[in-house]
Amino acid sequence: MHFPFSSWLHGRFLRIVNPFQKTLGEQNYIILLSVLVGLLSGVAGALMKTVEHGVQSLVALIPADASWAVWALPATPALAVFFCIFVTQVIMHGKYERGVAGVIMSVKNRTGTLPLHKTFSHIITSGVSVGLGVSAGLEAPVAQTGAAIGSNVARGLLLSHENRILLLACGGAAGISAMFNTPVAGAFFAMEIILPKTASAIPAIIPLILSSATALLVSQQIYPPRPYDFDLLQWNLRAVPYYVILGAAAGLVSVFVIKIYTQISKRYGRVRNPWVKGLIGSAILYLAILMFPALRGDGYHFISHLISDPETLYEGSPITSIFANPWVFLLLTFLLVFLKATISISSLESGADGGIFAPSMFIGAFLGYSISKFIHMAELVWGGYISELNFLAIGMGGVLAGVMHAPLTGIFLIAELTGGYKLFIPLMIVSALSTFVCRKLCTHNVYKTMILFHGGDPDGTRDADALKRAIPDGLIEKDYLTLSESDSMRTVLTSVMKTHQNVFPVLDHDGRLAGIVTLDNIRHYLLETSLYDVALVFDIMRSPEAVLEPGDTLGRAISLFEKHRVTAVPVVRGGVYVGFVTKDRVLDRYRYLIENRPELF
């Protein structure tokens, strides 16, 4: 709907802002906007955490000592599932995309456009979901919210596509920074996950870092950071073989996460009714949390207590008694690695809002803890002490790096989150090895795998982008000499002598393309002078091998040139002749787009 007043107000705003852009220069202007996007994204991240903890405080009103509480608490995630379905189906009419995949596709398609409602809607839906206990995290929604803020700021200021994509990435980086208080990891997240894998992404690190740092400062002022009291120990060289084992295991578990995501999505995809999906997902979630309370929510609380107070993992479960045996406890702790992946994905596919980011860290923590605990219990320690807490922290980075195919994000996120720069080398080993193993077995990370699963193409390259550009009107040659069906051979030869054309369009009386005449068609008549006034164009013309229409892409034109081995293809609009597109000019245009594509920042 068009609102004249809003358009007038927007115009007045641009008249005020544009002089600042000219005064500052483009790069300084983008730096200033990256700080603005970081500020807004920091506020959004703080609000999302506020909603989550506000809902958690309401759930805490359920008396924990009541006999019915053990059966009631696992049911609260179902409220979140149906709340999100209501928002999606009733308010948004089914158009409510979750996860980072939509952000990646907007960058890949070079639009950098995200709907305005995404600047606030996920604050509510994901905050309610995780607050009520859905087995998911806030990180993907806050990255999407920040990206939407950056996209809409750029769109409102009428910035170029390149700058729109840059501010979108700044918002995504700022969202991660605001959620974890990790500005460097936020910047690397944007570079490894959101931005295209080209050298043009490297200069973007400056606005990305500034945006992330701004979001951190704002978020800390509004909502103090969640404490992570990890008393990490110094690592020793003799532990390297164990870190190699952890890295390989993290890579294999990452493969499991990606593979199980597609399998669960496929099964939920067979259920057309979203409310039935929600019912199925809620039932699965209820049973899982009832038996294994550690699957509730984002899981950070259980990670913090995994070493110091492991009994909280199964507190309230009807099967608490079987965890007394340490080997059974270890086995079920290891089982949580796979259950968390399955239940989290099921929650998201059934309709809840959230992301796989936090579950990946939970999975990594429990994997690292299980491996180190097994090494101690089986007395396999060689040459020194293996810290369970170190393995827990490094496992978080390893699985995150593998699932996202983002080793730098995994390394710096855990280093900043835990203050564990003393574990930087083990983090590098485990994250790099996990990413290597996962990439060998899964071509794409979890987000791009889901894009492929839904029929998208997540890996648009610079060449592919150029091929998808429409043929510009200036590339169509409209000065070709034309013929009519009733023209004689003598007229054709006269036209040949006047021009360097090797193909002539034949038009009917309505200007429609009836056929074409090439030099090969008339070669047989050159020595037959007696036929010059007898043979007509109608007798020698033929249908063109292919035609193009205005709006067709450079890629389609090139494919027609190669397929039919021609150097020129006619362009028609509704059958009416427009002109010709030649192979040389199309290839020149293609090379120009490749060589002159604007860089980010």
* Residue 470 CA from chain centroid, whole number: 25
* pLDDT of 82 over the 70 cut: yes
* pLDDT of 456 over the 70 cut: no
Q: Which two tokens stand for residue 582?
A: 């030649």
Buried b (16+ CB within 10 A) or exposed e, 22-56: eeeeeeebbbebbbbbbbbbbbbbbbbbebbeebb
For residue 403, what pLDDT is reported?
Answer: 95
Q: Which two tokens stand for residue 306?
A: 């995994």
Average pLDDT for residues 5-16, to the nearest whole number? 57
Q: Which two tokens stand for residue 486?
A: 């009733």
The pair phi, psi for residue 364, each rounded to 5°, is -65, -40
Confidence of residue 383 (pLDDT cuts 50, 70, 90): low
Instruction: Pick 202 or 215 by higher pLDDT.
Output: 215
Q: Which CATH class, in words, describes the domain spanning 465-595?
A: alpha beta
- Computed over every residue of the chain, the mean pLDDT equals 85
Confidence of residue 494 (pLDDT cuts 50, 70, 90): confident
Q: Which CATH class, in words, describes the domain spanning 237-458?
A: mainly alpha
Q: How far apart are CA 73 and CA 64, in angstroms?
A: 9
Cβ–Cβ < 8 Å for 130, 298 = yes
HEC sequence for 454-468: CCCCCCCCHHHHHHC
DSSP bridge partners of 577: 572
Identity of the highest mean pLDDT range in 147-161, 423-437, 510-524? 423-437
For residue 229, what pLDDT is reported?
Answer: 57
Locate the domains of the chain by residue range: 4-222, 237-458, 465-595
Q: What is the pTM of this model?
A: 0.76
Q: What is the pLDDT of residues 534-566, one digit of tens each?
A: 888 888 898 998 999 988 888 889 889 888 888
Q: How far apart are CA 401 and CA 418, in angstroms?
A: 16
Cβ–Cβ < 8 Å for 28, 149 = no
Domains 4-222 and 465-595 share a fold: no
Confidence of residue 199 (pLDDT cuts 50, 70, 90): very low
* pLDDT of 600 over the 80 cut: no
Is CATH 1.20.1250.20 the classification given to domain 4-222? no
Q: How far apart are CA 253 and CA 338, in angstroms?
A: 8
For residue 438, what pLDDT is reported?
Answer: 95
For residue 174, what pLDDT is reported?
Answer: 94
| Mean pLDDT lowest among 134-148, 150-164, 358-372 | 150-164
For residue 340, what pLDDT is reported?
Answer: 94
Closest to 150 in 3D by CA, of 34, 28, 11: 34
Helix, strand, or coil here: 486? coil
Confidence of residue 275 (pLDDT cuts 50, 70, 90): very high
